[in-house]
Amino acid sequence: KRKKELTADDLVAGIIKQDKVALSRAITIVESTNPRHTEKAAAIIKKCLPYANKSVRVGITGVPGVGKSTFIEALGKYLTSTGKKVAVLAVDPSSSVTRGSILGDKTRMEELVKDRNAFIRPSASGDSLGGVARKTRESIILCEAGGYDTIIIETVGVGQSETAVHSMVDFFLLLKLAGAGDELQGIKRGIMEMADAIIINKADGENTKAAKRAKTEFTRALQLYPPKENSWVPKVTVASAIENTGIRESWELVMTYMAQSKKSNYFEHHRIEQNKYWLLQTIDEQLRSGFYNHKAVKKQLQEQLEAVANNEITPFEAARYLLDLIKEQS
């Protein structure tokens, strides 16, 4: 017997009642690429919007091996122990290809998964960052409507996804290890400048000393950066997710930031700016995808790129030529 399909209203009612199963199903519909779900997803989001926007949104990034999931589990447990409701989402456009390095293996956060005040959701699948980011951003709305007051967005610090995550959170946290060498190889330039705080993780045992030294070094380095728009000076601290030290201190940084940010009205201003960013970003993406999927462009783009590479034509001439193809045909 086929299970009765829940309506948008049913699902939203469930979400508001803080029913995890309803939330899960609703997110599945939001994430669906099935056109049949588009309208239902839009209806769910619309009904959730009045309940949204009420959480603290924190992005956490760091290269593989830095101990992200252990840290997030420790942080999540700490937060629920103080009465918070925590949702953990992820943005990793590659996860559908690599079979989900990120949050895909739920056993990585075994304890947090069992916590009734935590909700963990692997990265949406999809091969375009734009698509995955959009789904995650809409899932945030649903989680907030479901009563989650703290949203953690995990991402791997090696690709384009950090900019996307940075643009959907209030606070951006970069995990690092002491002994910058190897660990730095994978991380993308520019991420350090996005960070509101750097946590030197695995500050335990033999690493303790090196971690403290790294803290001093990064603190000095961050002072050389230009100040942020909101005049927040990024902080550096040490933590050991395994020994459960520095977790509370890490969260206190977030709270200090939130207090300052709300007091100065930067918080609200920033969220509005983020919304505008996503509006303009989505338009850009759609315009580009329309252009590059145009038959004539598809056929001639490679040739133009080669002519440009061989200096037979300037990039501007090539662009004009390609843009004219679209005009002719429409």
Q: Does 223 bind a copy of itself (CB under 8 A)?
A: yes
- Identify the residue among 188, 248, 270, 294 touching a copy of itself (CB under 8 A): 188
Residues β-bridged to residue 72: none
Please give the structure tokens belonging to residue 121: 């959701």
**278 in contact with a copy of itself (CB under 8 A):** yes
Residue holding tokens 């479901």? 146
Residues 107-146 that bind a copy of itself (CB under 8 A): 134, 137-138, 141
Site membership for a copy of itself, residue 264 (CB under 8 A): no
Please report whether residue 98 would count as binding a copy of itself according to CB under 8 A: no
245 beta partners: 240
Position among 184, 233, 255, 259 found at the interface with a copy of itself (CB under 8 A): 184
The residues, any chain, with a CB within 8 Å of residue 126's CB and separated by 6 or more, are 33, 93, 96, 132, 135
Nearest CB to a copy of itself, comparing residues 106 and 276: 276
CA angle 79, 80, 86 (to 5 degrees): 80
Query: Nearest distance from residue 139's CB to a copy of itself, in Å?
Result: 12
Q: What is the dihedral of CA 176, 238, 254, 62, to 10 degrees?
A: 10
Q: Which one of 73-81, 180-188, 241-249, 252-260 is the stretch in contact with a copy of itself (CB under 8 A)? A: 180-188
If phi over 0 gives left and psi between -120 and 50 gives alpha, with beta otherwise, what is residue 155?
beta
Q: Site size for a copy of itself, by CB under 8 A?
A: 62
Burial of 284 by CB count in 10 Å (0-12 exposed, 13-18 middle, 19+ buried)?
exposed
Question: In the complex, what is the shortest distance from the CB of residue 113 to a copy of itself, in angstroms, rounded to a whole number?
Answer: 28
State yes or no: residue 319 binds a copy of itself (CB under 8 A): yes
CA-to-CA distance for 271 and 299, rounded, in angstroms? Answer: 41
* Residue 34 binds to a copy of itself (criterion: CB under 8 A): no
User: Of 245, 214, 250, 213, nearest to 235 (Cα)?
Assistant: 250
20 close to 114: Cβ distance less than 8 angstroms: no
Radius of gyration of the chain (CA): 22
Residue among 21 and 305 whose Cβ is closer to a copy of itself: 305
- The verdict on 330 binding a copy of itself (CB under 8 A) reads yes
**Comparing C-alpha atoms, which of 237, 19, 64, 61 is closest to residue 152?**
61
* Of 148, 171, 218, 267, the one binding a copy of itself by CB under 8 A: 218
Q: Which stretch binds a copy of itself (CB under 8 A): 84-92, 106-114, 205-213, 311-319?
A: 311-319
> Which of these ranges, 64-72, 100-108, 242-250, 322-330, lies near a copy of itself under the rule CB under 8 A?
322-330
Beta-carbon neighbour count of residue 70 at 10 Å?
18
CB of 94 to a copy of itself, least distance (A): 19
Interface residues toward a copy of itself, by CB under 8 A: 42, 45-46, 49-50, 52-53, 134, 137-138, 141, 180, 184-185, 187-193, 217-218, 220-221, 223-228, 272, 275-279, 281-284, 286-288, 291, 304-305, 308-309, 311-320, 322-323, 330
